[in-house]
Amino acid sequence: MQAGHMQIGEVAARTELSLRTIRHYEDVGLVIPSARSQGGFRLYTERDVARLMVIRRMKPLGFTLEQMGDLLEATDRLDHPDRLASDERDRLLERIRGYERTALDRITDLRTQLERAEDFAATLHARLDQSAPTRG
């Protein structure tokens, strides 16, 4: 194996994503293995793992594959500032700010849902305590 490269199994363990999920993200173009071994196995770098972690963090917030790709494309382009005009850089940063705002809104919604779920569980617990036979 090439230095600094990992096979898909190690990447799956590090990202807590299944092999199938990683392959799906490759199929839709969100992450492309940085190399292939002589035997044809996918090889990934730390940068690839970082991309997968972005995707993994976006998923529970309800972002679509298209949105994930859009954000990754914007961050990829920002990683090469020498190739950007200043107005393009500003547009990319504003796109990323939009994703940040959306993420924060969705986190707020999830916290509200969690509070309601905890209230529901507490109600059930109180009901069970109320219905438990008394010991005397």
Give the integer Cα–Cα distance in Å for 131 and 13: 45
Distances (CA, A) of 70 to 21, 80, 98, 130: 19, 16, 11, 52
Residue 48 pLDDT grade (very low, low, confident, very high; cuts 50, 70, 90): very high
For residue 20, the model assigns a pLDDT of 96
For residue 2, the model assigns a pLDDT of 60
Residue range 23-34, pLDDT digits in tens? 999 999 999 988
For residue 115, the model assigns a pLDDT of 98
CA dihedral angle for residue 19, residue 24, residue 70, residue 40, rounded to 10 degrees: 70
Tokens linked to 54: 């972005």
Give the integer Cα–Cα distance in Å for 83 and 86: 10
For residue 6, the model assigns a pLDDT of 93
Tell me the helix, strand and coil percentages in the chain, rounded to 5.
70, 5, 25
Residue range 78-104, pLDDT digits in tens? 998 888 888 999 999 999 999 999 999
